[in-house]
């Protein structure tokens, strides 16, 4: 039987920083969920609508030793346990996903660090790490051309409206119509002349 040589790799920022686990985890747990919606239908009863598959979750536990042990470790020259913990915490706090790769398998995915816990005895670290698959979302901008059609016919400008402020000013300074005043004065004068002529036509009064 051919044996598989597995390597667990964690990397960040397109392999700008990466970690290889010195001790292989004894097992890797993978959780594959799915969304479901249960509904009640009249005359049918309960039914299920199958949704979309959920992102995969990975979890494993292992040991990060202080010193190299040929019967336990896969390679020489790995970082110290303190450096390993500091690196995981820093990656998690950047808000960026990491990449999780297991050579010899189909696991090669971007992931987010969901949970990280460890026990330290002053030398070696026993840790547990939980990851969740990360899906990149690409938003595309779409150009929309909106054509405005002018209505048929010609536009007629509205007559200029006078403001109430201007109207009130004109009302205060408005003078009477000169022509109307002249006519009124002429009529008044002609009536007076007729009275005078009528009085003179009577002649002088006779003295008794």
The yes-or-no verdict on residue 197 having pLDDT over 80 is no
Helices (H) then strands (E): counts for the chain = 3, 9
Q: Comparing 14-18, 177-181, 201-205, which segment has the lowest mean pLDDT?
A: 177-181
Mean pLDDT of 16-34: 95
The yes-or-no verdict on residue 132 having pLDDT over 90 is yes
Give the tens place of pLDDT for each residue, 156-188. Answer: 666 666 655 555 455 555 555 545 555 555 555
What percentage of the chain reaches a pLDDT higher than 90? 51
Q: Output the pLDDT for position 52.
A: 87
Q: Return d(Cα 132, Cα 30) in angstroms, integer.
A: 10
Q: How far is C-alpha 182 from the chain's CA centre?
A: 77
Q: Output the pLDDT for position 208.
A: 44
Give the tens place of pLDDT for each residue, 34-59. Answer: 888 888 888 888 888 888 888 999 99
Q: Return d(Cα 85, Cα 91) in angstroms, integer.
A: 10
Query: How does strand 125-133 pair with strand 57-64?
Result: antiparallel
Collapsing DSSP to helix, strand or coil, 99 comes out as strand
User: Which residues have CB under 8 Å from 61's CB, separation 6+?
Assistant: 25, 26, 126, 127, 128, 129
Task: Please indicate whether residue 178 or residue 199 has the higher confidence score (pLDDT).
Answer: 199
Q: Return d(Cα 186, Cα 132) in angstroms, integer.
A: 107
* pTM exceeds 0.75, yes or no: no
What are the backbone angles phi and psi of residue 183, rounded to the nearest 5°?
-60, -45
Give the tens place of pLDDT for each residue, 61-94. Answer: 999 999 999 999 999 999 999 999 999 999 999 9
Burial class (CB in 10 A: 0-12, 13-18, 19+), 85: middle
Task: Please indicate whether residue 177 or residue 16 has the higher confidence score (pLDDT).
Answer: 16
Q: Return d(Cα 174, Cα 171) in angstroms, integer.
A: 5
- What average pLDDT does the chain have? 81
Q: Output the pLDDT for position 111.
A: 97
């Amino acid at each position: 039987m051919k044996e598989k040589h597995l390597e667990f790799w964690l990397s960040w920022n397109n392999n700008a920083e990466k970690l290889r686990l010195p001790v292989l985890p004894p097992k890797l747990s993978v959780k594959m969920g799915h969304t479901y919606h249960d509904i009640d239908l009249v005359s049918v009863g309960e039914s299920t609508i199958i949704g979309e598959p959920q992102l995969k979750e990975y979890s494993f536990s292992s040991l990060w030793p202080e010193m190299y042990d040929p019967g336990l470790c896969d390679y020489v020259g790995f970082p110290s346990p303190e450096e390993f913990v500091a690196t995981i915490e820093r990656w998690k706090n950047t808000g960026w996903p990491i990449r999780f790769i297991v050579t010899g398998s189909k696991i090669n995915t971007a992931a987010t660090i969901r949970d990280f816990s460890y026990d330290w005895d002053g030398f070696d670290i026993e840790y547990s790490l939980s990851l969740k698959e990360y899906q990149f979302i690409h938003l595309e901008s779409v150009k929309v051309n909106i054509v405005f059609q002018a209505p048929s016919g010609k536009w007629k400008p509205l007559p200029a409206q006078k403001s109430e402020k201007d109207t009130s000013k004109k009302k205060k300074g408005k003078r009477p119509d000169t022509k109307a005043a002249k006519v009124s004065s002429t009529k008044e004068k002609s009536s007076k002349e007729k009275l005078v002529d009528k009085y003179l036509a009577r002649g002088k009064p006779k003295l008794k």
